[in-house]
Amino acid sequence: MTTSSTINGGISFWYADQGTPPPRAPLTGDTTADVVIVGGGYTGLWTAYYLKRAAPFLRITVLEQKFCGYGASGRNGGWLYNGVAGRDRYARLHGHDAAKRLQQAMNDTVTEVVETAAKEGIDADIHRGGVLEVARTPAQLTRLKAFHEAETAFGETDRTFLSALETRERIDIADAVGASWTPHGARIHPAKLVTGLADTCERLGVTIHESTPVTEIAPKRAVTPYGTVRAPYVLRCTEGFTAALKGHRRSWLPMNSSMIVTAPVPADVWDRIGWSDRATLGDMAHAYMYAQRTADDRIALGGRGVPYRYGSRTDHDGRTPPTTVRALADLLTAFFPQLAGIEITHAWSGVLGVPRDWCATVALDRATGLGWAGGYVGSGVATANLAARTLRDLVQQDSGQGGPTDLTTLPWVDHRVRRWEPEPFRWLGVHALYAAYREADRHESRTHTPTTAPLARLADRVAGRH
């Protein structure tokens, strides 16, 4: 594994081929709109898209601090899949049927994104190969079986359980002892999707201002250094960056996730590895990994490095600590010893938003016209689309253009959560949590115990995840 020539940062590998998109003009003075959206990632842009499609007369303005796709939407692992953070808690709060409706809506969302991208001519290297989640230790296998059963109970009756042999016939992963496969997933090129979406919005008549940081979000206005946009609806779509906004320091914690990508893997090595269906790949470790086979035959793999920066700070254009790059490279060769010696061409990081109860939400406050969506905890590629269609329906309902819909009545709508602890407790808590997960993973690998390490259960409880 070679990391000496790795390009580190530069937003992400996904922009390496095509470069970052040509900049759009910043805001130049005060103005008005019907809806102003803060943040040009999947959430903000899908919301603009669906609102404009539903009501072409609406004047919609998107304000983006850097460029559309600067955040997680231009840096992620490209898993377009049906996972939604907090589903099990929503089942406890609102009943199994309500949570099942949410899951069904997520299953449908994967198809919605694939079909809408095709309809709008957005080529995002989408390949619908499903999602393969693999176990590599006996304890992971126990969790995998429980996970498989839970997902089936939530309506994924088309899920398949694979033995060790069947798993390795699909992808030759060292130490694989079993896997669960679902068709509800697709591999995407994250940056192509977000830049295509921004272009589509603009084509439909949405106004997008880039290099325009919003310094304050208040009822009926978004304030920037270059002017204020006044609108009846102000929608906050800033996910992992939310903590930098006035009044939101402790709302959603910016959790880091880091990625590496290999040089294109030679055809004879692919012959040995397999992975011909290009399913997105994940595991059942507590500090889990996620990977995809890219359209140009590389492997992009991500996981948790430094989980969180003191004071909710975010990285500088994706720059990643060398120890994290090394750890991810080691993980890649643990999965695929066939790749020993391959070059790691890029490494980068990004932030995702984690609410205190690890539950994704979408909301519109009728009294103020302030809306928001996010807290997707690392499964936002598809969830952002469902959130956006829900924001559309909430705005339409509030403005008298529609009534309640199947989406506005889903259990994650208008969910409120307490704030994170102040520093230094926030930093200490998150670092202790991931130290516990890493130790639990080591313990499970070392001992080959079939049960989840007690330390991980304790960490889950303390973190408020279950």
Ligand X SMILES: Cc1cc2nc3c(=O)[nH]c(=O)nc-3n(C[C@H](O)[C@H](O)[C@H](O)COP(=O)(O)OP(=O)(O)OC[C@H]3O[C@@H](n4cnc5c(N)ncnc54)[C@H](O)[C@@H]3O)c2cc1C
- How many residues bind ligand X, per CB under 6 A? 43
Tokens of 336: 């695929």
- Which residue lies nearer to ligand X by CB, 21 or 138? 21
Nearest CA among 348, 341, 345 for reference residue 298: 345
Determine, following the binding rule CB under 6 A, whether residue 87 of this chain makes contact with ligand X.
no
Q: Which of residues 293-332 bind ligand X (CB under 6 A)?
A: 302
Stretch that binds ligand X, among 328-336, 361-369, 376-384, 440-448 (CB under 6 A): 376-384
User: Residue 29 CB, nearest distance to ligand X (Å)?
Assistant: 17
- Compute and round to an integer the Cα radius of gyration of the chain: 21
* Sole binder of ligand X in the list 374, 415, 433, 463 (CB under 6 A): 374
Q: Residues 416-455 vs ligand X: string with x where CB under 6 A?
A: ----------------------------------------
- Which residue lies nearer to ligand X by CB, 154 or 252? 252
3-class secondary structure, 50 = helix
Residue whose beta carbon is closest to ligand X: 380
Alpha-carbon distance values, 214 to 209, 244, 387, 419, 445 (Å): 11, 10, 21, 22, 46
Determine, following the binding rule CB under 6 A, whether residue 289 of this chain makes contact with ligand X.
no
Q: Residues 47-86 vs ligand X: string with x where CB under 6 A?
A: ----------------xxxx---xxxx-xxxxx-------
User: Residue 168 CB, nearest distance to ligand X (Å)?
Assistant: 23
Stretch that binds ligand X, among 119-127, 135-143, 171-179, 346-354 (CB under 6 A): 346-354
Q: Could you tell me the sign of the dihedral formed by the alpha carbons of 317, 318, 323, 326, in that order?
A: negative
Q: Which of residues 377-416 bind ligand X (CB under 6 A)?
A: 378-382, 384
User: Residue 329 CB, nearest distance to ligand X (Å)?
Assistant: 16
Q: Order across the sheet with 31-32: list the strands.
A: 31-32, 227-230, 221-224, 216-218
Nearest CA among 457, 303, 464 for reference residue 378: 303
- Which residue lies nearer to ligand X by CB, 315 or 444? 315
* Sole binder of ligand X in the list 171, 214, 284, 299 (CB under 6 A): 214
- Which residue lies nearer to ligand X by CB, 360 or 455? 360
Dist CA 66 CA 241 (whole Å)? 12
User: Residue 360 CB, nearest distance to ligand X (Å)?
Assistant: 9
Dist CA 123 CA 130 (whole Å)? 18
- Which residue lies nearer to ligand X by CB, 117 or 139? 117
In DSSP terms, 38 is beta-bridged to 63, 236
Beta pairing, strands 221-224 & 227-230: antiparallel
Q: Residues 167-206 vs ligand X: string with x where CB under 6 A?
A: ----------------------------------------
Number of H helices, E strands in the chain: 11, 21
Q: Which of residues 348-367 bind ligand X (CB under 6 A)?
A: 350-352
Residues in CB range of 409: below 8 A, 6 or more apart: none
How many degrees, rounded to 5, is the angle at CA 414 between CA 411 and CA 419?
110
Q: Could you tell me the sign of the dihedral formed by the alpha carbons of 401, 403, 408, 413, in that order?
A: positive
Q: Which of residues 224-243 bind ligand X (CB under 6 A)?
A: 237-241
Nearest CA among 94, 111, 114, 106 for reference residue 155: 106
Alpha-carbon distance values, 234 to 47, 61, 66, 231, 371 (Å): 12, 10, 19, 7, 6
User: Residue 276 CB, nearest distance to ligand X (Å)?
Assistant: 20
Determine, following the binding rule CB under 6 A, whether residue 39 of this chain makes contact with ligand X.
yes
- Which residue lies nearer to ligand X by CB, 193 or 433? 193
* Sole binder of ligand X in the list 259, 331, 342, 347 (CB under 6 A): 259
Determine, following the binding rule CB under 6 A, whether residue 129 of this chain makes contact with ligand X.
no
- Which residue lies nearer to ligand X by CB, 125 or 239? 239
Stretch that binds ligand X, among 111-119, 344-352, 408-416, 424-432 (CB under 6 A): 344-352
* Sole binder of ligand X in the list 336, 376, 420, 434 (CB under 6 A): 376
Tokens of 343: 């070059």
Determine, following the binding rule CB under 6 A, whether residue 257 of this chain makes contact with ligand X.
yes
Dist CA 439 CA 453 (whole Å)? 9
Residues in CB range of 216: below 8 A, 6 or more apart: 222, 223, 245, 246
Give residues in contact with ligand X (CB under 6 A).
38-44, 63-66, 70-73, 75-79, 213-214, 237-241, 245, 257, 259, 290, 302, 350-352, 374, 376, 378-382, 384
